[in-house]
Amino acid sequence: MQSIEVPKTKRIVLIAHDNKKEDLVEWVQLHKETLSKHHLYGTGTTGKIVHERTDLPIHRFLSGPLGGDQQIGGKIVDGEIDVLIFFWDPLTAQPHDPDVKALLRIAVLYDIPIANNRRSADYLISSDLLNTSYRRTRIDYSTGLPIY
């Protein structure tokens, strides 16, 4: 069976649309101690703001509209991202909506846990799986079966 080892120390991506950045920063501040035990990543502006306001180290990709969402999607495909926390704004059209949709599609295809708002992020961060290693299987979408 082809399964992927998800390490104890997770690789967590933090993304937020402009109207949700403050909400994400507040959430990160609330969970700073837990998040400090993991590797954090973010799109350009979000990563910069979260780092400045929390002092947590964050590897930054490009800004979402400049290709950051696509860079993160590539890291998911390469097995280098374990959790996606993306506070998106459902009420504001984004110029890079196709990139956002592609990122969410890739995360679902590769069975990456996704939180899209504060409550779902609370559920994710309180999961026992966040601080333990586990295995996840990949689906072969041409057959609909787990890859063995």
Binding site per annotation, positions: 17, 21, 43-46, 63-64, 96
**Backbone conformation region of residue 36, classed left if phi is above 0, alpha if psi is from -120 to 50, else beta:** alpha
Binding site per annotation, positions for substrate: 17, 21, 43-46, 63-64, 96
Any idea which residues carry the catalytic annotation? 69
Rounded distance between C-alpha atoms, residue 64 and residue 80, angstroms: 18
Rounded distance between C-alpha atoms, residue 67 and residue 81, angstroms: 17
Angle between helices 118-125 and 21-30 (to 10 degrees): 30
Q: Are strands 114-115 and 134-137 parallel, antiparallel or unpaired?
A: unpaired
